[in-house]
Chains A and B, each alone.
Chain A
Amino acid sequence: MARTLGPLLRQPEETVTQSKKLSMVRTALALGGGACLLYAVLVVTKHGTPSVDWTGLLLPPALVGLLVGVLIVLVHRRACRMSVLKIIQQVRQMREHQEVGLVMLAPGDELGEITGPLNEFLTAAKQNVDDVQAENRELRIEARIAEAEKHHTEAIIFSISDAVIVTNRFDELILANEAAEKLLGFKFGHSMRKGFDRICSDGTLVRLIRETRSHAKNFTRRVVEHTMDQKGVSRTFAITLSCVVGQTSEVSGVVAVLHDITHEKEIARMKSDFVSNVSHELKTPLSSIKAYVEMLVDGEADDEAARQEFYEIISTETNRLHRMIENILNISRIESGVLNVVREPLSVTGVVTEALDVALPQAKAKNIEIHQNLAPVYYQVEADHDMIYQAVLNLLSNAIKYTPDGGEVTVSVSLDDRRNVVIFEISDTGMGIPTEDLPHIFDKFYRVQANKKIAKGTGLGLALVKEIIEAVHEGKLSVTSEPGQGSMFSFELPVIE
């Protein structure tokens, strides 16, 4: 297109040339016409005063002049026609190519003069067309960008694990991701532009979306906690509802994001239960301590023996409180992963021997015999020494605690060659654990009711053993028990190759 603009600049020059040509045609016609007129005058005059015979003298040149004039007119007319055809042809070409250009005539063309204004008009028109085309291109690009952005946004929405639902100002579904489809049990493809109340059976969610849209002035965003039934299971969601506000500040729809907080709620509940249990359990020894101290202060102990008894109770309960706090802290540290686990090659036999040294006086006091059947120390496991020691000591203390005076406790460490694991076993001749209690004995604060009268406990010792063996060391802890006969606890840890 640009190349056709060049000739336009030469236009004034050509226009001048063409004007000269036109004036020549006019002169020729005037001369011919003038000669004919003069001839006619002379013919008339000759009839009046026939003194000189000018007619004979002037006739040939007049005729020649007229002939020339007529010839020139004919030639000029033909040239004009040719020029018009050229112009028509060029305009047709423009139409064919759908491209506005300039009308070009040969230099000195008969109609050269009109190409100027015509091209001016065409140039202006071409400018308009160019502008419109440029605008069109921009709009097409913008539309493509918008389309790409739409796909991008949809991809983001579809990748979100929370359910996302978008409705328009008629509460019709216009967008929903896979999570929403699963949660509400519909197919977006079949539900597009359908009223949301026809898609969702949960009346509260339908109402929340409707309210958010209609009360848009009061809240543009709010979070509502709502429990819904999903395939027969009750799940709690934090639903974030936001208004989509258009350029005219009118609400054009609502976006609802449903975040499943069932697990968080469960954790919060467990945490609350744990804190509640801990405080209850801590208050029990604290109550005894406080009560006996008050009795001593108030002089309620009658004699030295009574005072001594009170002191001993206070001491025992203080130790119990201390043990509880230690166990709670250890469990909490293990569960939260804060506890620094130092894994090193160690011999389970070595650790058991250390624990036995501590537990033997306790056994002796109850006249309990401890049988040892320990494999050689060179079988090593990779474990945290202090934790395994704690686990073994807890199991050992329990066995001694719940075995009546004169009973027996057997401790063994063996190797299972086939499975390549070290097995620690401890069995007692105690009262055993009732079958209904067995599934719960590793729960925090769970205490076998029948055993409560026999020995004091925190309800945390076995929970801690389970955490240490299974959560920290990926080992296996198990228990078998025969009420009235005794119990056997065992754990196994993989041997280092």
Chain B
Amino acid sequence: MAYKILVVDDEAHILHVVSLKLCKAGLDVITAQDGEEGLETFLAEHPDLIITDFQMPRMTGVEFCKEVRRQEQAHHVPVILLTARGFDVDPSEIMAADIAAVLEKPFSPQEVLTRVQQLLPEKPTHVSAEVQP
């Protein structure tokens, strides 16, 4: 079973291109268009890693991530934050939300993939969850 990556962005083209790049690298990709949808998907799908945009309607990427941290129990999911205004995001907020990496827009899909591969745990957790009796 492949790793499951959740990509959250309100820009359809970004969702599409990131998903495509990750799928081609053999990863499972699930998408959401905002934080609320992202949270639902996270709870339902238990992804191994989350890539989220910062500037999104209703809930920012950081707020979404904090919500994820509140919800997660068994394991700690690494989060990559995509932002068009990297310097405007408060570093302490990034620390508080425990965000593993921040990538600035415009980003390179290859760079996203590389970061994802670096941050993924040894084994896909949802796989291990499934194999547990």
Within 8 A of A (CB), among B1-52: 10-14, 16-18, 20-21, 24, 33
Q: Are A280 and B85 in contact (CB under 8 A)?
A: yes
Cβ B13 vs Cβ A313 within 8 A? yes
Count of chain B residues with a beta carbon within 8 Å of a chain A beta carbon: 24
Task: Note all chain B residues with C-beta closer than 8 A to A300.
Answer: 20-21, 24, 109
Q: Is the CB of B14 within 8 A of A295?
A: no
Chain B residues contacting A284 (CB-CB under 8 Å) are 11, 14, 84, 105
B106 and A289 within 8 A (CB): yes
Known contacts: A276-B85, A280-B85, A284-B84. The answer to whether A453 contacts B33 by CB under 8 A is: yes
Q: Could you name 14 residue pairs across A and B whose Cβ atoms are closer than 8 Å?
A: A279-B84, A283-B84, A283-B85, A288-B13, A288-B14, A288-B17, A291-B14, A294-B110, A298-B110, A300-B24, A449-B58, A452-B10, A452-B57, A453-B12
- Interface positions, chain B 44-103, Cβ under 8 Å from A, are 55, 57-58, 84-85, 88
State how many angstroms separate the Cβ of A171 from the closest Cβ of chain B.
41
Give the interface centre of B17, B21, B107 by most chain A CB atoms within 10 Å. B17
Interchain CA distance A289-B13 in the complex, whole Å? 9
Task: Looking at the assembled complex, report how far the CB atom of B96 sits from the nearest CB atom of chain A, in whole angstroms.
Answer: 22
Classify the secondary structure of A's interface with B. Answer: helix
A68 within 8 Å of B (CB atoms) = no
CB-contact partner of A283 in B57, B105, B108, B109, under 8 A: B105
| Contact of A333 with B by CB under 8 A | no
Contact of B13 (CB < 8 Å), options: A294, A298, A317, A449:
A317
Does A72 belong to the interface (CB within 8 Å)?
Answer: no
Instruction: Identify A449's interface contact among B12, B55, B57, CB under 8 A.
Output: B57
A280 with B84, Cβ < 8 A, contacts A291-B17, A300-B24 known:
yes
A290 within 8 A of B: yes
**CB nearest neighbor in A for B11:** A284
Confirm or deny: A287 has a beta carbon within 8 angstroms of a beta carbon on chain B. Answer: yes
Contact residue among B12, B55, B106 (Cβ-Cβ distance under 8 Å from A286): B106
Residues of B within 8 A of A (CB): 10-14, 16-18, 20-21, 24, 33, 55, 57-58, 84-85, 88, 105-110
Within the complex, the shortest CB–CB distance from B90 to chain A, in Å, comes to: 14
Residue of A nearest to B57 (CB): A449
* In the complex, chain B residues whose CB is within 8 Å of the CB of A452: 10, 57
| Closest-CB distance, A274 to chain B (whole angstroms) | 13
Q: Residue B55 contacts which of A280, A291, A298, A313 (CB distance < 8 angstroms)?
A: A280
| With A284-B14, A286-B106 already in contact, 9 other A-B pairs whose C-beta atoms are closer than 8 Å | A283-B84, A287-B105, A287-B106, A288-B11, A288-B14, A294-B108, A294-B110, A295-B109, A449-B58
Q: In the complex, which residues of chain B have a beta carbon less than 8 angstroms from the beta carbon of A294?
A: 108-110
A40 to B: closest C-beta gap in Å: 137
Asked if A292 lies at the interface with its beta carbon under 8 angstroms from chain B, I say yes
Whether B14 contacts A287 by the Cβ 8 Å rule is yes
A287: which B residues are within 8 A, CB to CB? 11, 14, 84, 105-107
**Interchain CA distance A280-B58 in the complex, whole Å:** 17
**A290 with B14: CB separation less than 8 A:** no
A279 touching B85 in the complex, CB below 8 Å, given contacts A295-B20, A300-B20, A453-B33 = yes
Give every chain B residue within 8 A of A295 (Cβ-Cβ): 17, 20-21, 109
Chain A residues within an 8 Å CB radius of B14? 284, 287-288, 291
List chain A residues, Cβ under 8 A from B16. Answer: 313
Closest 10 CB pairs of A and B: A283-B84, A290-B106, A287-B106, A449-B57, A288-B13, A287-B105, A291-B17, A280-B84, A283-B105, A286-B106
Chain B: which residue is nearest A449 at the CB level?
B57
Least CB distance from B31 to A in Å reads 13
How far, in whole Å, are A294 and B13 apart by their CA atoms in the complex? 14
